[in-house]
């Protein structure tokens, strides 16, 4: 009787230690995970948004965040040879990722300049380039399969 009580106590102690270890690793993963953005639904109150968090699953890879790139030109009308600065945000990318400024030449997109994403405020970038062609230039910023909307600059 004494040995079965000792065996039972050992099993309970081992199960309890395993449970504590699993809970601790799950809690650490839950705190490390980014919360998912609120998804407002028509007819719900905006006073208390429904924030869902990623489940704590330590052996699974984290979900990829959606990437988006914005672009803005400091001037949309320039003389040939003048510099234009393009700025924007690259959300969902990592600091140090490369962005390409591309120009549409009428049949294909060609890379004009490359820059890296900076952490600053919300992963911003800035690209300055001189436009020498005449007419309307279509430009965009690209990273892998993610691209910004097209910006048109008129060169006179």
18, containing H or E segment: helix 2-32
Question: Stretch 135-152: mean pLDDT, rounded?
Answer: 94
Q: What is the pLDDT of residues 60-92, one digit of tens each?
A: 444 455 688 999 999 999 999 999 999 998 888
pLDDT bracket for residue 93 (50, 70, 90): confident
What distance in Å separates the CA atoms of residue 69 and residue 146, rounded to the nearest whole number? 7
Is the pTM value of this prediction over 0.75? no
pLDDT digits (tens, 9 = 90+) for 10-38: 777 666 665 666 666 665 555 555 555 45
> Is residue 42 predicted with pLDDT exceeding 70?
no
Q: In whole numbers, what is the pLDDT of the chain averaged over residues? A: 76
Which pLDDT score is estimated for 62? 46
Give SS3 for 53: strand
pLDDT of residue 16: 67
Other CB atoms within a 10 A radius of the CB of residue 101 amount to: 21
pLDDT at 66: 63
pLDDT of residue 6: 65
Number of other residues whose CB lies within 10 A of the CB of residue 140: 18
């Amino acid at each position: 009787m004494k040995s079965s009580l000792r065996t039972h106590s050992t099993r309970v102690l081992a199960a309890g230690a395993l449970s504590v270890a699993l809970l601790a690793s799950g809690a650490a993963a839950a705190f490390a995970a980014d919360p998912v953005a609120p998804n407002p639904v028509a007819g719900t109150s905006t006073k208390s948004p429904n924030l869902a968090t990623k489940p704590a699953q330590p052996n699974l890879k984290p979900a990829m965040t959606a990437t988006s790139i914005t672009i803005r030109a400091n001037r949309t009308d320039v003389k040939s040879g003048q510099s234009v600065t393009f700025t924007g945000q690259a959300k969902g990318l990592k600091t140090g990722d490369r962005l390409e400024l591309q120009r549409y030449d009428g049949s294909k997109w060609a890379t004009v300049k490359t820059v890296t994403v900076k952490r600053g405020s919300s992963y911003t970038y800035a690209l300055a380039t001189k436009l020498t062609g005449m007419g309307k230039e279509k430009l965009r910023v690209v990273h892998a399969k993610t691209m910004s909307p097209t910006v048109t600059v008129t060169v006179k």
